[in-house]
Structures are given as C-alpha cells and as structure tokens.
Amino acid sequence: MNMFARMRAISVSLILALMVAGGLAAVSTGKQSKKEPAGDAAKGQVLFKQNCDLCHYPDRTDKKLGPGLKGLFSLKELPSSHKPVTEENVRAQIEAGSPDAKPMPMPPFKDKLKPAEMDALMAYLKTL
Ligand code: HEC
C-alpha cells in the first residue's frame, strides 16, 4: 500500500469506529430516557435474581410461587392484594412480605436489603 491508500484506509476505519460508537451511545441514552429509573436498574436486576427470581418471573405474568411481575407498574392493581400499584405499596410488600400467605409465604426483606438496594430494586421493577 502506498501512503495515500494507507491514510485513506485509516480514516475510513476511524469514521466507521466513530459511527459505531455514536450509534451505541444513542441506543444507551435512549434506553435511559425511556423510563428514567431513579436508582440503578441494572443493580436492581442482580438483586432481583438473588432475592426474588426464585418465586417471581420478571418476564411473565403467570404464577411461579408468587405472581409473575411482568408489567407490574402498568397493572391496574397489585396481583395478590389488589391494592393500587404505587411505589409505596410495592415497597411495603417487599419490606413486610406476606408471611401468612398460603400455601407459600413471601419472606420480609426489610432487614435484608439496604435502602440503596431497595431503590435499585424499585428502579428495576419499573422496567418490567
Ligand atoms: C419464597 C417465595 C418468594 C420470594 C423469595 C419473594 N416473593 Fe414476592 N410473593 C410471593 C408470594 C407467595 C406472593 C403472594 C402473596 C399473597 O398472596 O399474599 C408474593 C407477592 C408479591 C407481590 C405482589 C403483592 C401484592 O400486593 O399483590 C410483589 C410485588 C412481590 N411479591 C415482589 C417480590 C420481590 C420484589 C421479591 C424480592 C425482593 C419477592 N417478591 C420475593 C413469594 C415470594
């Protein structure tokens, strides 16, 4: 390759790299602005997998051991208690659980999740 050809090859690949990077940046900012999670939804997803996934599907509405939570914040009412779907009621459910529910109780998470973890979990639940 002569010098011109090499310079052209370098600038073409540079432009391509910039286009890809720009595209990725647009995609990721687009995602964030869609739901604007208050906490860190990605951390919340990890917490969900560790604490909730055993009993709840995040991507289905049918029952695992507890109700599926897909679209939780777009429901008219909470699936078991039929209370309004508010951040307050969902937090209260997670903190207190449903220790008396039959046949399967939900454990309380008040002492298991730190306030920042609770915020992250709420941010994730809003993306379902
Ligand atoms: C051991 C199983 C189990 C685990 C773990 C569990 N849940 Fe549940 N969850 C249930 C059951 C069972 C119900 C239904 C309770 C009832 O009928 O009162 C429920 C109900 C719910 C509801 C609906 C409450 C309502 O008012 O309708 C939400 C929201 C929920 N769980 C979120 C979570 C989240 C978030 C986690 C993780 C931090 C979690 N659950 C962990 C079993 C579980």
H/E element, 104? none
- The two counts, helices (H) then strands (E), for the chain are 4, 0
Alpha helices (H) in 3-61, listed in sequence order: 3-35, 41-51
- Report residues whose beta carbon is within 6 angstroms of any ligand 1 atom: 51-52, 54-56, 65-67, 69, 78-81, 83, 90, 93-94, 98, 101, 104, 106-107, 109
Handedness of CA 49, 54, 58, 59 (dihedral sign): positive
Q: Whose CA is nearest to atom 14 of ligand 1?
A: 66
Distance 85 CA to ligand 1 centre (A): 14
Amino acid identity at 17: A
Q: Which one has a higher pLDDT value, 25 or 87?
A: 87
Point out the ligand 1 atom lying closest to the alpha carbon of residue 79. 27
Tell me how far the alpha carbon of residue 67 lies from the centroid of ligand 1, in angstroms: 7
- What span, in angstroms and rounded, lies between the C-alpha atoms of 86 and 84? 6
Q: Cβ atoms within 10 A of the Cβ of 107, count?
A: 13
Give residue-wise pLDDT tens across range 95-121: 999 999 999 999 999 999 999 999 999
Share of the chain above pLDDT 90, in %: 68
Q: What is the mean pLDDT of residues 5-17?
A: 54
Distance 84 CA to ligand 1 centre (A): 15
Per-residue pLDDT tens for 23-39? 544 444 444 445 454 56
